[in-house]
Amino acid sequence: MGRASATAGVLRFVRAFALCVATACLLLAAGMPSPVAAQDPSKLSLQYYSKTCPNVEHVVRTEMECAVRADTRNAALMLRLHFHDCFVQGCDGSVLLDDTATMIGEKQAEQNVNSLKGFDLVDKIKEKLEAECPGTVSCADLLAIAARDAVVLVGGPYWDVPVGRLDSKKASLDLANSDIPTAQQGLLTLIAKFWEKGLDATDMVALVGSHTIGFARCENFRDRIYGDFEMTSKYNPSSEAYLSKLKEVCPRDGGDDNISAMDSHTSDVFDKRLLRDPHQGRGPAQLRPGDVVQHRGLLHLRHSQQVLGRPRGLLQAVLRLHGEDGQHHQPCRRRGQEDLQICQHIGYDNIYRMLETAGETRWL
């Protein structure tokens, strides 16, 4: 394959992946509970911040460039944050919310706890945006732009990101646990989860292929190297040398947080390698593109134009919160002002309670 052809192929793949991330936020399953009251993708715009924060993309890009130069893994962290945000009640920034006295957030979900990272980077970008244009850019938009820049900075092409989302007032631990795909689930279960979001097997192939960057934790691929798993196939690690290497990283007992590159060849480059050769038997992920495309009727999807090319305009098919249904979080970990400690400036040795009686506030 010539260089120009390879570049075009990567471009088509990344466009398909970007579309998948964008459309993953649509809550199309009938009866699915959600705090979202309105969906209007048409109101997203490339010019949404043109007057209120014209430098938004420059600010995000600058911070992402510094972060990825310092550690290329930051690209994968931001991309994963965006997907885990979108797959639970839409691209609304809810994955960023910390727990409060009245809400357990999505950070505690099985697929997020101890593995979802990048929150400090989001805080840093948000701080820069607030200095540039206070109270203007939503955390949901920040994530969408940063995820695009993450792909660009590790070798993927650029695509436009329509903006105008607002941030959710709620996060859902239950939906995060039930909706986010897990490494241990079988292929049919995963297809069903994507179907509930209005996504098909083609979308899933593209999304699995996005694991070309990033790392996997030992606890998520231990079953793959020590025994069968639900989605078992003959395409488990085929190289004895590579299998031994994985076992060194991931012992049978302990070492849950040890990591191995998802793509053992080009872990810091966003490319099509995972989709290109399903027979290579490399990479620690339990569900790999090879498993997907070898499953009955999905074989053709590996080279199909369906998975490699989608209309760029459909990137606008994303969820947007309107008016009172959403807000701008500042910082992104907190819902408006409601989680601020009242009297946070009172000395640490003062023990107090605030009571409201007959419209009067008094301190005890």
Q: Is 212 annotated as a binding residue?
A: yes
| Residue 102 assigned as binding residue | no
Q: Is 84 assigned a catalytic role?
A: yes
Rounded distance between C-alpha atoms, residue 177 and residue 110, angstroms: 6
Determine contact, residues 76/215, Cβ cutoff 8 Å.
yes
Q: Is 40 annotated as a binding residue?
A: no
Residue with tokens 């919160």: 321
User: Is position 203 annotated in a ligand binding site?
Assistant: no
- DSSP secondary structure code for residue 158 in this structure: P
CA-to-CA distance for 64 and 121, rounded, in angstroms?
8
Residue 263 counted as an annotated binding residue: yes
CB 288 within 8 A of CB 229: no
Q: 181 a known binding residue?
A: yes
Please give the Cα distance from 265 to 269 (Å, whole number).
9
| 92 is annotated as contributing to ligand binding | yes
User: Is 357 assigned a ligand-binding role in the annotation?
Assistant: no
**136 annotated among ligand-binding-site residues:** no
The response to whether 211 counts as a known ligand-binding position is yes
3-class DSSP state for residue 8? helix
Catalytic, out of 84, 279, 295, 345: 84
Q: Which residues contact 157 (CB under 8 A, 6 or more apart)?
A: 10, 11, 14, 15, 151
* Cross-strand bridge partners of residue 216: 260
Flag whether 90 is marked binding.
yes
Q: What are phi and psi of 145, to 5 degrees?
A: -70, -45
Numbered residues of the known binding site for heme b: 211
Numbered residues of the known binding site: 85, 88, 90, 92, 94, 106, 181, 211-212, 263, 266, 271
Numbered residues of the known binding site for Ca(2+): 85, 88, 90, 92, 94, 106, 212, 263, 266, 271
Numbered residues of the known binding site for substrate: 181
Task: Return the active site residues.
Answer: 84
